[in-house]
Structure 1
Amino acid sequence: MRGAIFDMDGTLLDSMWMWRGLDEQILIDNGVPVPEDLGQKIVTMNSQQAAEYLSSNYLPHLEPEKIMENWEEMVWQAYRTVIAPKPLVPEYLHALKARGIKMCIATMTDRPQAETVLRRLGLWDLFEFIITVPEAGKSKHEPDIYFQCCEKLGLDPADCTVFEDAYYAVKTAKAAGFTVCGIYDDTSKLDWPAIERTADIAITDYRQLLEQL
């Protein structure tokens, strides 16, 4: 591995509870029962798509823009104050940096929010750059964002490992020829068996990666 491409939420950061909580909280605040499969239905959507989905299916009295305004305030507050790295993530990133491995982030989160939380946690300077899904122009159902990362790193896909917690992204990166490390997160636990089958390596704790260095 000469390059490492990391997803952010759910992979480096213990933050997926916040994103899932946003969807559920706005339904609760409006007296709408939360469907059991809500998380699975919107996990691959960006904020705009999720807001449109909730507005169309559960909250017809709220425009998607209003839903997104409510979310944005909650997300900013969480990134500025409570979101933390997953255990041993800083140690693993510093270990890769010390070995000369180039690292970047490919995230669905908007750039200002991603930069804010990474700077607060002291992780920003460990990465060469970040690319967001809106900047890449396509979701992680397509491999474009990973190829763009490779190009900016100056490396071939065969030289890079992609770290992801979402099954659909694991599938995309694997099909595109990358080595893939699946990262366990509670919010995608139903997909964990599939992630284990698809990824080249699947870990539940960053200690497992540190021990392999």
Structure 2
Amino acid sequence: MDKKFAIFDLDGTLVDSMSYWSQLAEEYLHSRGVEQVPNHILEAIKPMTMEESADLFRRTFGLDITSSHMVAEMEHMMDQHYRNDIPLKEGVAAYLEGLHQAGTTMCVASATAEPLVELCLSRLGVRHYFQFLLSCETVGVGKTQPDIYLQAAQRMGCTPAETAVYEDAVYAAATAKKAGFYIVGVYDQDASAHWEELQSLSDETIPSFEEA
């Protein structure tokens, strides 16, 4: 595909952040004095929202703090990672420069809040490649619905059929695919168990940006 327009996911696609999210529960509970976190708790929270996880932590470990306060503290921890630690995936900067040189119009569509996306990509030196940043928070619905992709395409002045969507998550890629977008599946170590499924639904795949 001649990529005139491209929509990029952030977490797991442009940046190596998924491990920070997966380790957040243990990092937070350790800060609250919980030395050992049972594996069954870590498994139980995988499908939960942050609020649900906080409520489980409070009840399980007898923490004298409200769930909403816990959520705020966990969000602050992730804020610091986006501001200071989370790295760009290897090869991403060169890949974006190649698209830029080819005249591709690009944006970011992320579940992460726009201010954090702005801080993270600016720190990593690639913010200037993107015309705008759009979050599910702003759109009001997650990536189980195509709204964020459709709004991004509308703002870029293009149709789904002429727009490439770069995603590492199968469910998000499937959503964009059903809406008529060209899908570029991006490999992420933290989603490796679903790589074959992502490959099967994608129009194109990137096992590594260094090799792309």
TM-score over 0.5 (shorter chain): yes
Letter of the 2:185 partner, please give it.
G
The SS at the match of 2:210 is helix
- 2:189 corresponds to 1:186: yes
Question: Which residue in 1 is equivalent to 2:51?
Answer: 52
Would you say how many aligned residue pairs link Structure 1 and Structure 2? Answer: 202
- 2:16 corresponds to 1:14: yes
The SS at the match of 1:206 is coil
Shift of 1:34: 3.2
8 Å Cα contact 1:32-1:58 kept in structure 2: no
CA distance in 2, matches of 1:143, 1:18: 26
Question: Which residue in 2 is equivalent to 1:132?
Answer: 135
Question: Which residue in 1 is equivalent to 2:26?
Answer: 24
Shift of 1:38: 4.8
Among residues 179, 197, 201, which one is paired with 2:200 in the alignment? 197
Pairwise CA RMSD of aligned residues?
A: 1.8
Identity of paired residues, percent?
Answer: 35
- 2:121 corresponds to 1:100: no
CA distance in 2, matches of 1:133, 1:99: 28
Query: Which string of whole-angstrom CA distances, capped at 9 and with x for unpartnered residues, describes residues 98-154 of structure 1?
Result: 111000000011111111111111111110001100101110000000000000000
User: Larger Cα Rg: Structure 1 or Structure 2?
Assistant: 2
Shift of 1:25: 2.7
Letter of the 1:33 partner, please give it.
P
Question: Which residue in 1 is equivalent to 2:7?
Answer: 5
8 Å Cα contact 1:20-1:39 kept in structure 2: no
Structure 2, unmatched stretches of 5+, are: none
The SS at the match of 2:58 is coil
Shift of 1:21: 1.1
Shift of 1:59: 2.8
CA distance in 1, matches of 2:83, 2:134: 20
Moved more, 27-36 or 137-146: 27-36
Moved more, 117-126 or 195-204: 195-204
Among residues 161, 166, 171, which one is paired with 2:169 in the alignment? 166
CA distance in 1, matches of 2:84, 2:102: 31
Query: Which string of whole-angstrom CA distances, capped at 9 and with x for unpartnered residues, describes residues 72-114 of structure 1?
Result: 2222222222211101100010110111100000001111111
CA distance in 2, matches of 1:199, 1:67: 38
- Give the TM-score normalised by structure 2: 0.88
- 2:33 corresponds to 1:34: no
Change beyond 3 A, Cα 1:41–1:184: same
Q: Which runs of 4+ in 1 moved over 4 A?
A: none
CA distance in 2, matches of 1:98, 1:105: 18
CA distance in 1, matches of 2:165, 2:83: 26
CA distance in 2, matches of 1:186, 1:41: 19
Question: Which residue in 2 is equivalent to 1:45?
Answer: none
CA distance in 1, matches of 2:173, 2:188: 13
Moved more, 102-111 or 193-202: 193-202
